[in-house]
Amino acid sequence: MKNALRTRLAAGLAISFVMLAGLQWLLAGIAIERLLKAQLAQRLERDAENLLAALDGEAGAPLKLDDARVGGEYRQPFSGHYFRIVIDGGDDISSRSLWDGTLALPFAGSERIAQSEAAGPQGQSLWLLSAHYEKRGQSVRILVAEDLSALRAGLREWHLLYGLLTLAVVALVLAVQQWVVRRSLAPLDTLRAQMQALERGERERLDVALPDEIAPLVDQFNTLLGMLLRRSQRSRDALGNLAHALKTRLAVLLQVAESPAMAAHPELQQRMTDSTELMRRAIERELRRARLMGGTHPARRSDLRDAAERLAGTLAILHGERSPDIALDIAADITLAMDAEDLMELLGNLMDNACAWCRSRVRLSVERGGDLKLVIEDDGPGCAPEQLESLSARGFRADETKPGHGLGLSIVRDLVDSYGGALEFGPSPVLGGLRVTVHLPSRMALDAPSPEGVRP
């Protein structure tokens, strides 16, 4: 997932640790190199002091170097160990290892001991130590040098081994880090699964057994969910009470309008009858709209085939004069994440409309693909192509001679819209009449869960 929290966290930690490990490897290499050069300088300084001790001679005579006290490494040509002794007013002595070469005198500063890197014979890179001494009243300057190739080879080997060890540690730490990140973010995966189960209708609330950083948010969500459900229920109860009260008053008005006393005033009687009928329609329409807007609990699940079978039995009685054959092509294990009343309203309007227009056959089927399709078709006369777009318009009636108010398909459209679906009209290629297709999100359809799979 792009910009996923787990990916960003893991990448940030990995980059930080790799940079830290690289910096540590670099600083450790610099420290090791300084330590080795410090040890080399100490060894060169001891050699310079040994060479100073090997300088001897008669009192008042020039200092001479006692070759017997010079180490063998300074006798082997190009051994990588070299010296040069410059005596003020006396000899300039170089080691046999220099062969015909010499060590260039560095700039004479005020320091008694100075160190620097210098070029040696045969392209060797040398670490040079220059020391100033006083012996028997004579100024002595001793240069001692050693080839750096062995030290650098050792450093390269150390860098390689330490780099491999660092990479192994980095790989191990990154693996542990990934495990820790996954384990730390596992509650978010659990929460996502619970949200999906809530959407499918398998749960009624979210668990709060989560880390302290997430639990307050989930608890607030559960509180909000319960509050919305209570508000919706109170709204429906209040509207039911209002409908009952208004319908009672409307019945009284209708009785008055049909009373013998009003028969003497036919115009007034007709106006009262029309007004009460309009009021009744308005009340029923607004009650349906309020129920749709009030929403339902997301955990509600409805058995699609059971609802269709009950409606088929009822419609067969209501339309007994034409005895419609209602065929149901619905799997027995499909449930919908939809309120039972909404499902009955949806199927009831569509199936009733199909039964009212059919000759003898009505078919309800379900197709599952990219989305969920509820298909209701009949073998009636169908609908003119230019009227298809107007079928779901409120108050539209394709045939004014048939009873009805033109509200059924409008209610279906509102229901389908509230669940994020779409309504499609067209000719039925199978039965020849009208085909109504309800497109619903595929996530609303799921197999019926086992009792132990439903958690409160």
pLDDT tens for each residue of 242-277: 776 776 777 777 777 777 777 777 888 777 777 777
User: What percent of the chain has a predicted confidence (pLDDT) above 90?
Assistant: 4
Q: How far apart are CA 126 and CA 29, in angstroms?
A: 20
pLDDT digits (tens, 9 = 90+) for 156-196: 898 899 889 988 988 898 888 888 888 887 787 788 887 87
User: pLDDT value at position 392?
Assistant: 59
The 3-class secondary structure across the chain, one letter per residue, is CCCCHHHHHHHHHHHHHHHHHHHHHHHHHHHHHHHHHHHHHHHHHHHHHHHHHHEECCCCCCCEECHHHCCHHHCCCCCCEEEEEEECCCCEEECHHHCCCCCCCCCCCCCCEEEEEEECHHHCEEEEEEEEEEECCEEEEEEEEEECHHHHHHHHHHHHHHHHHHHHHHHHHHHHHHHHHHHHHHHHHHHHHHHHHHHHCCCCCCCCCCCCCCHHHHHHHHHHHHHHHHHHHHHHHHHHHHHHHHHHHHHHHHHHHCCHHHHCCHHHHHHHHHHHHHHHHHHHHHHHHHHHHHCCCCCCCEEHHHHHHHHHHHHHHHCCCCCCEEEEECCCCEEECCCHHHHHHHHHHHHHHHHHHCCCEEEEEEEECCCEEEEEEECCCCCCHHHHHHCCCCCCCCCCCCCCCCCHHHHHHHHHHHCCCEEEEEECCCCCCEEEEEEECHHHEEECCCHHHCCC
Higher pLDDT, 433 or 235: 433
Q: How far apart are CA 194 and CA 212, in angstroms?
A: 18
Domain ranges for the chain:
5-153, 201-299, 300-456
User: pLDDT value at position 17?
Assistant: 84
| Burial class for 143, CB neighbours closer than 10 Å (0-12, 13-18, 19+) | buried
Q: Which residues pair with 83 in a beta bridge?
A: 144
Higher pLDDT, 209 or 85: 85
User: pLDDT value at position 408?
Assistant: 66
By the 8 A CB rule, do 357 and 380 touch?
yes
**Is the overall model pTM greater than 0.75, yes or no?**
no
Higher pLDDT, 181 or 200: 181
**Tokens 């056959």 map to which residue?**
361
Confidence of residue 397 (pLDDT cuts 50, 70, 90): very low
Statement: residue 404 has pLDDT above 50: no
Angle, CA 232 vertex, CA 231 and CA 233 arms, to 5°: 90
300-456 is a CATH 3.90.1300.10 domain: no
What is the radius of gyration, based on Cα positions, of the chain? 49
Statement: residue 393 has pLDDT above 80: no
Looking at domain 5-153, its CATH class is: alpha beta
Statement: residue 372 has pLDDT above 50: yes
User: pLDDT value at position 144?
Assistant: 92
pLDDT digits (tens, 9 = 90+) for 284-338: 666 655 554 444 455 567 788 888 888 888 888 888 777 888 888 888 777 887 7
Side-chain-facing half-sphere of 390: CA atoms under 13 Å: 11
Q: What are phi and psi of 426, to 5 degrees?
A: -175, 175
Q: What are phi and psi of 238, to 5 degrees?
A: -65, -40
By the 8 A CB rule, do 122 and 146 touch?
no
Buried b (16+ CB within 10 A) or exposed e, 91-102: eebbbebbeebe
Statement: residue 407 has pLDDT above 60: no
Q: What are phi and psi of 86, to 5 degrees?
A: -115, 115
Confidence of residue 108 (pLDDT cuts 50, 70, 90): low
